Amino acid sequence: MSETLAQFEQRKKDHIRIALDPQSQARGLSGLDRVRLIHEALPEINFSQVKISTQFLNQKLRSPIFISSMTAGHEQAGLINLKLARAAARHGWMMGVGSQRKELTSSEATQEWKKIRQEMSLESHRAVMIGNLGLTQVIQTPVSQIQKLVDSLEASALFVHTNPLQEALQKEGTPHFQNGLKALENLCKEIEIPVILKEVGCGFSQSTFSKIRGIGLYGVDVAGLGGTHWGRIEGLRNSEDKLLFEAAKTFENWGISTVESLLMAREMSPDYCLWASGGVRSGLDVAKLLALGAEKVGVAQPILVAALSSTKIGDDEALDLVMQRLELELQIAMFCTGCDHLEQLSSKKVWTWT
């Protein structure tokens, strides 16, 4: 039975509510606790020299940290996304938007981003946004229609998310991934902006990394195990459906950790750039992933928690605080490893295992 619009909106709201619950988090499984950055007691630089600015496709960014794709297409989403987009512009971060699936069937939904872009025209910085669509939709949708989605958002790139575990455990799921690789290759060839493949918290294996070589992807965000876990979220949503609830419990720690995924990808000298997310909870985590070879690092759940701590437009204290904290901690990690710019984090060997 296909999902009604009301059920779709309720599902999206449930996801937000449950993502705030600590039980939805695969804490301690990202592998980040095992990575140590090596302290440099003689850094030979001043703290003020530490620069975290970078760029994406010739657009300047004040930080390599980005807001990971979250929500869209329901009544709460407009407010959350406006807050997030404004914060991204204020801080000079990129923002991945939540799945634009609803825009494929609702002209009203396409207005959500147009409105946000209009309201944002007063901001001094323009937010760099990345569109988002699931692989199961990419398989079924002509590229011309996907192009319209990214145009309405004025997106600089498109994230395609792949989420087999979530689709399999979701009552209304669409676990249809046959021909996904071919659809992805075709999308990369025909769409006018770069495509970045991402998971949603279960990471990528060595075999997946080799499958996607040569298909024209700009990048991969490993989005690994260790933070928000969609097996857990769908399980918590289905507490009255004993079968799905029990099955979700079995898979509550399923996935490949963010660190393991990133290291596997790096060893394979990929022909796409590597980004990382999944369980990033501090600027020190960001520094570790940059040191391991990620070019950009995404954060989702902690940003959502901060954005929702006040529903008032203009009250962004918690959001600003978490973003500033992540930046400051990244700067401190760079300073204490003797790195004054981001490239040094990966070019000098500043990490070890414990």
Ligand X SMILES: Cc1cc2nc3c(=O)[nH]c(=O)nc-3n(C[C@H](O)[C@H](O)[C@H](O)COP(=O)(O)O)c2cc1C
Least CB distance to ligand X at residue 43 (A):
29
- 29 contributes a contact to ligand X by CB under 6 A: no
Distance CA 221, CA 208 (A): 13
Least CB distance to ligand X at residue 27 (A):
10
Q: Which is nearer to ligand X, 24 or 331 (CB)?
A: 24
Find residue 275's DSSP bridge partners: 221, 296
Amino acid 205 reads S
- Three-state secondary-structure class, residue 200: coil
- Three-state secondary-structure class, residue 348: coil
- 15 contributes a contact to ligand X by CB under 6 A: yes
**Residue 94 in contact with residue 130, Cβ under 8 Å?**
yes
Taking residues 108 to 147 in sequence order and writing x for each that binds ligand X by CB under 6 A, - otherwise, the string is ------------------------x---------------
- Ranges within 58-77 binding ligand X (CB under 6 A): 68-71
Distance CA 68, CA 201 (A): 11
Q: Which is nearer to ligand X, 81 or 301 (CB)?
A: 301
Note the residue count of the chain.
Answer: 354
- Ranges within 316-345 binding ligand X (CB under 6 A): none
Which residue in 99, 208, 337, 346 binds ligand X (CB under 6 A)? 99
Distance CA 335, CA 133 (A): 38
**Residue 277 in contact with residue 262, Cβ under 8 Å?**
no
Taking residues 194 to 223 in sequence order and writing x for each that binds ligand X by CB under 6 A, - otherwise, the string is ----x-xx---------------------x
Least CB distance to ligand X at residue 123 (A):
23
Least CB distance to ligand X at residue 158 (A):
11
Q: Which is nearer to ligand X, 223 or 236 (CB)?
A: 223
Q: Which is nearer to ligand X, 100 or 331 (CB)?
A: 100
- Ranges within 297-316 binding ligand X (CB under 6 A): 299-301, 304
- Ranges within 258-287 binding ligand X (CB under 6 A): 277-280
Taking residues 223 to 242 in sequence order and writing x for each that binds ligand X by CB under 6 A, - otherwise, the string is x---xx--------------
Least CB distance to ligand X at residue 16 (A):
5
Name the closest residue to ligand X (Cβ): 227
Distance CA 112, CA 117 (A): 9
Least CB distance to ligand X at residue 42 (A):
34
Number of Cβ within a 10 Å radius of residue 118: 10
Q: What is the full DSSP assignment across 65-116?
A: EEEPP---SSHHHHHHHHHHHHHHHHHT-EEEPPP-GGGGT-HHHHHHHHHH
Which residue in 16, 150, 291, 350 binds ligand X (CB under 6 A)? 16
Q: Which is nearer to ligand X, 76 or 186 (CB)?
A: 76
Phi first, then psi: what are they for 19, rounded to 5°?
-65, -20
Distance CA 217, CA 198 (A): 11
Least CB distance to ligand X at residue 45 (A):
30
Q: What is the full DSSP assignment across 257-278?
A: BHHHHHHHHHHT--SSEEEEES
Q: How many residues bind ligand X (CB under 6 A)?
A: 26
| Burial grade of 240 (CB within 10 A; 0-12, 13-18, 19 or more) | exposed
Q: State the residues that interact with ligand X by CB under 6 A.
A: 15-16, 19, 68-71, 98-99, 132, 159, 161, 198, 200-201, 223, 227-228, 277-280, 299-301, 304
